Amino acid sequence: MKDQDQLAGANSQQYQAGGSIEVHNHGMTAAEVADLAMTIFRQNFIRFGEEAMQIAVSRAEELVDSYLRRMQSEAPAHISSAADPSMQRAIYTAQAEYASRGDSDLGSLLVEVLVERSQEKANTMRAIALAEAIGASSKLTSIHYKLLAVVVMLRYTTFFQWRDQAAFRKGLQKHLLALFPINDTYLHRRRYPSPLPLTQMDLQHMEYVGVGRTGGTDFDVLERYPKIYPGIFSHDFTLDELDPILHSEIDRPPFIRTEGDPEKLRLAAVTHSDLDNLKRPQRRIRENIHLLHDLLDQNKFQRNEVYSFFQMRPLYKDQQMFNYRAFEYLIEIFQKLGVNQFELSSVGIVVGRAVWKQYCDNIPPLQWYIPEPD
């Protein structure tokens, strides 16, 4: 997980809310937010036995302190959003859920959601989804969190920043390694354990919680990627496959010669939109752009070729070579359990994206997934 404030659980060192936080805003200060949050918590939380209550209060303080530290570093101008009743309710709900469970994965996720919620206006769809995600998160396990993150990554995200096959393979491998790191069992036995030990009951439970639904539109990443990224998931072509009217243009953009085999060509375009938006194309290219669109489609990978593409090349760790097979296992899980037909709700997208964001940088903003009407 990325280096940031992590919630440590019941038996570790606890932070004291308030105290050393001194960020000031035009509204409430961070110390005032911490004091208010703990006052609301003590007044509204269920009364437990003395020892249990001490643990609950300590956890509530820990969560609000971690939240304010994140706000202090990432969004200090929005700390005073805690003056809003809906934000106070969100903070209290997060405290109550973490106080009850004390699970560090849950606590880190709740902080992530609160930071996002503090920067949204109340009564928007995103704000409502973020608020609902707090309660939903407490009803899920860490395995459920990672499944949601993977579904958001593979089903709901497009990676236009990866411009060629090597970059795409390396980029996806980086994200999978962050979510499912290599462990000693894998290194010693050369066998990667299933990254998501799930059953059909897990999907049914997640549907009950409200983060998704089974039986939705079938989604197969092996078929989807050639449609979205035809310029990456396609074969090189030869001059014979190119319309003769374009033969004189092969040494100009958007044509590129294949490294290691100059007799073969590719298009320097990942999507059809890239072709439509070429910068100052030659007149012959511009007048025959439809031929390039046809070329982009006619050499696309078949399903089994996409699978082979993602059989990740060997990696090295501590001088040991291994084949990272997380993607293969995920495809198998998607097919066997019906995850291919598991559609996420707005709440599921919020949770999955928040989990993914804890492990990887440069995740698309929430509005990319849940846009608000103009």
Structural domain including 161 reads 144-226+305-365
Q: Is the dihedral of CA 73, 371, 331, 213 positive or negative?
A: positive
pLDDT value at residue 108: 97
User: Is the pLDDT higher at 76 or at 281?
Assistant: 76
pLDDT value at residue 328: 81
The answer on 335 and 189 residing in a single domain is: yes
pLDDT value at residue 319: 52
Model confidence pLDDT, tens digit, residues 157-202: 999 889 888 899 888 888 988 998 876 555 555 555 677 889 999 9
Check pLDDT > 70 for residue 113.
yes
Model confidence pLDDT, tens digit, residues 35-54: 999 999 999 988 888 999 99
Model confidence pLDDT, tens digit, residues 234-249: 999 999 999 999 999 9
User: Is the pLDDT higher at 149 or at 28?
Assistant: 149
> At 16, is the pLDDT very low, low, confident or very high (cuts 50, 70, 90)?
very low
pLDDT value at residue 225: 93
Please report whether residue 4 resides in a domain: no
Please report whether residue 185 resides in a domain: yes
> At 332, is the pLDDT very low, low, confident or very high (cuts 50, 70, 90)?
confident
The answer on 98 and 239 residing in a single domain is: no
Residue ending a domain, choose from 79, 105, 138 = 138
User: Is the pLDDT higher at 172 or at 9?
Assistant: 172
The answer on 253 and 120 residing in a single domain is: no
The answer on 325 and 271 residing in a single domain is: no
> At 327, is the pLDDT very low, low, confident or very high (cuts 50, 70, 90)?
confident
User: Is the pLDDT higher at 65 or at 176?
Assistant: 65
The answer on 209 and 277 residing in a single domain is: no
* Contact status, residue 146 vs residue 153, Cβ threshold 8 Å: no
When divided into structural domains, the chain yields a total of: 3
Check pLDDT > 80 for residue 99.
yes
Please report whether residue 7 resides in a domain: no
Please report whether residue 23 resides in a domain: no
pTM of the full predicted structure? 0.86
User: Is the pLDDT higher at 333 or at 69?
Assistant: 69
pLDDT value at residue 8: 45
pLDDT value at residue 173: 86
Residue ending a domain, choose from 299, 317, 335 = 299
Q: Is the peptide bond before 254 cis (omega within 30 degrees of 0)?
A: yes
Residue ending a domain, choose from 121, 138, 155 = 138
Model confidence pLDDT, tens digit, residues 348-361: 999 999 999 999 98
